[in-house]
């Protein structure tokens, strides 16, 4: 008898995720843990957590973790990466942020980290709302989407357009890798893991700012079942937010 | 006979694993889990499980902790 699946080593023993049932945050963190295992990074990683549903990241991942103020994860990661470099220590540093955290309150820190070509990696969860605080409209809320602060649907005249984060980050000269993936079925989960792996490998190779946006479900605030949430991502959201690699400096060369 | 192990304390009854099993070997059980809903159970009377591990890959809560292939 052969064991073909086991819990990733980078997940803390006996930890239980605090996410709602069927939330893609759990899938995303699991993939991150699998990649940390496969690249043998666990002992050398400092993860930067953010404000949002994933605030307890340090309870889930068995790596060193630091909590950052809302939106400031890239700035904190910059400091950690540079301070260790000054001590001649090369640490693997990544942030795990919601879309509200990365692309709204923290947009300045995020964008300028990419423009500086800061050698850090970012995992950004795009669930089209502010999940933790009750599903308010966020920077990625799509046109027409009903949230607690856009009860009649996001209206372009009143609220403006949503941000396409992975495309914007790809435009920054300091970015070495920018992709958008989803977790709505097995095929997409396999691809998501490949892109996360690439993102992390590029930091190891010192290539600059590497970024993966994960189109994720928020069944609770979307008021859909987990299964219907995945269907919505597959059929609607991935049309608005295309799933592809927007920048890969190795491919472009 | 391949099989999976489910941690009843971790299952949140999201039922994503039910959809993904190609042989429909995972079903709602009689047991109520911590979210107040019926958690799932693995039933494979005809030894159909191929250890494809898609259920484990799909579970957001790592409640499917092990997959064994024979
Ligand atoms: C400075 C500051 N303002 C507001 C908040 C309240 N707050 C906590 S989490 C959050 C939204 C997080 O949304 P997002 O980043 O999209 O992550 P999600 O919860 O959806 O995963 C807000 C507004 C805060 N913690 N700090
Ligand atoms: S509120 Fe949404 S994003 Fe937050 S844990 Fe629940 S389902 Fe996940
Ligand atoms: S996917 Fe996991 S948490 Fe969801 S019902 Fe199946 S075993 Fe339970």
Kindly report, residue by residue over A3-23, the tens digit of the pLDDT: 999 999 999 998 999 999 999
Confirm or reject: Cβ of A218 under 6 Å from ligand 2.
yes
Residues near B35 by beta carbon (within 8 Å), at least 6 away in sequence: A21, B12, B13
Using DSSP's 3-state secondary structure scheme, residue A198 falls into: helix
Q: Are A99 and A24 in contact (CB under 8 A)?
A: no
Report d(CA A73, CA A95) in Å as an integer: 6
pTM of the model: 0.97
Best of A1, A2, A4, A5 to substitute, by most chain B Cβ atoms within 10 angstroms, is A5
A55, with CB counted inside 10 A (0-12, 13-18, 19+), is middle
Spans of all domains in chain B: 2-69
Domain ranges of chain A: 19-128+162-252
Q: Which CATH architecture has domain A19-128+162-252?
A: 3-Layer(aba) Sandwich (3.40)
Q: Is the pLDDT of residue A227 over 90?
A: yes
Residue A123's SS3 state is strand
Are A183 and A237 contacting, i.e. CB atoms less than 8 angstroms apart?
Answer: no
pLDDT at residue A253 in the model:
54
The ipTM of this complex is 0.97
- CA–CA dist A48, A122 (Å, integer): 9
Torsion angle defined by CA atoms of residues A57, A61, A67 and A70, in that order, rounded to the nearest 10 degrees:
-30
How is domain B2-69 classified at the architecture level of CATH? 2-Layer Sandwich (3.30)
Q: Which residues of A touch B (CB under 8 A)?
A: 1-7, 11, 16-17, 19-27, 30, 185-186, 189-190, 219, 225-227, 230
pLDDT in tens, A128-166: 999 999 999 999 999 999 999 999 999 999 999 999 999
């Amino acid at each position: 008898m052969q064991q073909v699946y086991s819990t990733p080593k980078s997940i803390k023993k006996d930890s239980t995720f605090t996410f709602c049932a069927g939330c893609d945050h759990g899938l995303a963190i699991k993939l991150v843990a699998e990649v940390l295992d496969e690249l043998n990074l666990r002992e050398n990683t400092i993860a930067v957590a953010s404000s949002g549903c994933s605030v307890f990241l340090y309870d889930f991942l068995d790596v060193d973790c630091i909590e950052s103020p809302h939106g400031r994860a890239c700035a904190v990661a910059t400091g950690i990466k540079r301070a260790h470099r000054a001590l001649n220590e090369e640490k693997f540093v990544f942030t795990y942020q919601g879309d509200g955290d990365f692309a709204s309150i923290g947009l300045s820190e995020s964008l300028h980290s990419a423009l500086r070509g800061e050698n850090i990696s970012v995992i950004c969860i795009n669930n089209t709302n502010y999940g933790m605080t009750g599903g308010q409209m966020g920077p990625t809320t799509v046109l027409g989407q009903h949230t607690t602060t856009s009860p009649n649907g996001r209206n372009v005249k009143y609220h403006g357009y949503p941000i396409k984060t992975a495309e914007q980050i790809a435009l920054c000269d300091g970015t070495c890798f920018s992709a958008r993936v989803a977790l709505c079925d097995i095929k997409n989960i396999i691809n998501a893991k490949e892109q996360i792996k690439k993102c992390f490998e590029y930091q190891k190779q010192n290539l600059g700012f590497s970024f993966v946006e994960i189109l994720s479900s928020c069944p609770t605030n979307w008021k859909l079942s987990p299964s219907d949430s995945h269907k919505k991502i597959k059929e609607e959201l991935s049309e608005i937010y295309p799933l592809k690699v927007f920048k890969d400096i190795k491919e472009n060369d | 006979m391949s099989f999976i192990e489910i941690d009843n304390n971790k299952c949140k009854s999201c039922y994503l694993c039910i959809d993904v099993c190609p042989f429909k070997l995972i079903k709602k059980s009689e047991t109520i889990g911590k979210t107040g809903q019926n958690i799932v159970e693995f039933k494979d009377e005809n030894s159909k499980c191929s250890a494809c591990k898609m259920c484990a890959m799909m579970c957001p809560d790592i409640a499917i902790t092990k997959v064994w292939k024979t």
